[in-house]
Amino acid sequence: MQGVGPGSVLGGRYAVTLRTSEGTHHERWRANDHTLEREVVLVCFPSASSVAAPALDAARRAAGIEDPRLVRVLDVGTDRGVGFIVEEPLTGATPLSHLLQSGGLSADEVRRLTGEAATALEKAGHRGLHHLALTPSSLLRMPDGAVKVRGLATEAALTDTDRLSDERASRADAVGLVKIAYAGLTGRWPMVSVDDGLIPAGAPVGLEPAPTIVGGVAAPSEIAVGVPNDLDLICRMTLASGNRGPVSPGDLALQIAPWASEQATSDGATGIRLRSREEFEPTRVLPAVGAGAAAVGAGAGASAAAGVA
């Protein structure tokens, strides 16, 4: 990007060192804050682009949300044609996309990661802020097991996908979290549109696509063994045709609660493994899930408070 490179200084204090990723409209760089003498992350984009003003506004609003599971926005600004958002450094963090390169995680860890992210996004949703661009790269696991969600409101603004009502945006984030849970269980990404196309399939995320069937994608239990019934059912409902499944991140958190407060000692502790090609025969017709959906919501209600407090 013009105006940004190793050695350049933005805002009179942020010395750019290394580019870590590149998106359609933005780049992510490591930098040193000369004022506070600390490392930070810069999200940079042309200040004259159509997404610049919405992204800066989204970042300012996201900075007001205090939740340890949301990556903190420290500063925003423009300098010589470059707009930038300053984020806290995440030393040692591993994106879910990297964790899944060798297959799915344990069901307990998927439940924990999804539940923590859902709780944080529900809190943000109460302030009118949504993610709307969730992928496995949006969730990060810190060395101590803590969960971080990156890109609240800003990713959607940078990709020009932030034009939804609060109700529709909450549903979109719930669907995004279910897709992340699906990927966590299977190591595959479900590229399907939901709600009659109102929530698009999105772009590839670097994982192998989930196999498709009539009406959606194969259930996680058809790809991996050891998938809990409730997670399997939620994925079946949400990623199939129709308008089923959780309506908000908080609704999803209620349905999958409770979860462990700490990272499982072994990601393979529950026996999750991918089915072999010989074992995998996706069904062509989804089973009836109306009664099961009610059971999921009712069964989680009694213990949900602990998961979303």
Predicted confidence at residue 288, as pLDDT, reads 41
**126/253 same-domain check:** yes
Checking if the pLDDT of 241 tops 70, the result is: yes
What is the distance between the alpha carbons of residues 45 and 23, in angstroms, rounded to a whole number?
10
At position 228, the amino acid (one-letter code) is P
Which domain, by its residues, includes 140? 94-308
pLDDT, tens digit, 9 for 90 and up, residues 75-131:
999 999 999 999 999 999 999 999 998 888 999 999 999 999 999 999 999 999 999
Q: Considering the domain boundaries, does residue 1 fall inside one? A: no
What is the distance between the alpha carbons of residues 210 and 282, in angstroms, rounded to a whole number?
11
**137/34 same-domain check:** no
pLDDT, tens digit, 9 for 90 and up, residues 155-202:
999 988 778 899 999 999 999 999 999 999 999 999 988 887 778 888
**302/264 same-domain check:** yes
What is the distance between the alpha carbons of residues 185 and 272, in angstroms, rounded to a whole number?
8
pLDDT, tens digit, 9 for 90 and up, residues 37-55:
999 999 999 999 999 999 9
**61/105 same-domain check:** no
Checking if the pLDDT of 259 tops 90, the result is: yes
Q: Considering the domain boundaries, does residue 56 fall inside one? A: yes
Separation in Å, CA 101 to CA 59, 92, 104, 105, 155 = 30, 17, 8, 10, 23
**225/281 same-domain check:** yes
Q: Considering the domain boundaries, does residue 145 fall inside one? A: yes
**150/262 same-domain check:** yes
**106/175 same-domain check:** yes
* Burial readout 31-46 (b: 16 or more C-beta within 10 A, e: otherwise): bbbeeeeeebbbbbbb
Where is the domain boundary, 60, 87, 114?
Answer: 87
pTM for this structure? 0.85
Residues 6+ apart with CB under 8 A from 171: 195, 199, 247, 248
Predicted confidence at residue 306, as pLDDT, reads 42
Q: How many domains does the chain have?
A: 2
β-bridge pairing 224-225 and 9-10: unpaired
**71/126 same-domain check:** no
Mean pLDDT of all residues in 9-28: 93
Find the CATH number of the domain harbouring 268: 1.10.510.10
Strand order in the sheet with 73-79: 9-10, 14-22, 27-33, 38-46, 82-87, 73-79
Q: Considering the domain boundaries, does residue 59 fall inside one? A: yes
**133/271 same-domain check:** yes
Mean pLDDT of all residues in 285-308: 42
Q: Considering the domain boundaries, does residue 2 fall inside one? A: no
Confidence of residue 215 (pLDDT cuts 50, 70, 90): confident
**25/171 same-domain check:** no
Q: Considering the domain boundaries, does residue 251 fall inside one? A: yes
Mean pLDDT of all residues in 50-64: 96
Which stretch of 49-53, 69-73, 260-264, 265-269 has the lowest confidence by average pLDDT?
265-269
The kind and range of the H/E element at 273 are strand 273-274
Which stretch of 22-31, 192-201, 213-222, 296-305 has the lowest confidence by average pLDDT?
296-305
Q: Considering the domain boundaries, does residue 3 fall inside one? A: no
β-bridge pairing 224-225 and 273-274: antiparallel
**287/172 same-domain check:** yes
Q: Considering the domain boundaries, does residue 273 fall inside one? A: yes
**117/252 same-domain check:** yes
